[in-house]
Amino acid sequence: MKALVIVDMQYDFLPGGRLAVPNGEEIIDVINTIQKDYDLVVATQDWHPADHYSFISQHLGQNVYDTIMLQGLEQTLWPDHCVQGSPGADFVAELDTLKVAAIFRKGMDRHIDSYSGFFDNGHLQATGLAGYLHAKGVNEVHVCGLAADYCVFFTAMDSLQMGFETSILLDATRAIDPAKLAEKLALFRSKGGKVR
């Protein structure tokens, strides 16, 4: 069975949002169109408490996009985004969610970030996505959404680690930093992932 994982199609990641991905709005129609090709469609949702430690607001004297150590891991300091219950955390209205069978929220622990839809960044807590997909009989996962170089990439890498045949759908994702994306896609391919 083949599943589509739609990553973080939320207002804060679109133009005008707090952590806008350049041209992120371009993929909405693509994602809506391809959903019919999948046996199962699920989505992830960034869902941070207002005092999440990855937020620049929690670090006086630091600059946005600086890198610090958090829980023993490198952590980029992001603009405050996708705060639980805020309009920016909502799925974009134009996204067709009728086929979305389940939503997996991530980034809820204020002490550690969670780029992947499967685990937090330290692989300390699972979201339940892997178990859900296995229980549904999924063996192939395609990943789309925002942003290609962070949450899509890490979701796809964890999907490989969890034993799924995994692809990133390039037409249905956009990157924060396109220059870094090529390097990450090369790593993904080296681990057995496919880029379509």
Residue positions annotated with a catalytic role: 8, 106, 151
> Are 189 and 168 contacting, i.e. CB atoms less than 8 angstroms apart?
no
Distance CA 80, CA 47 (A): 11
First-to-final CA distance of the chain: 18
Pairing type for strands 73-76 and 67-70 reads: antiparallel
Q: For residue 9, what are the CA distances in angstroms to 81, 103, 162?
A: 13, 12, 23
Residues written for the chain? 196
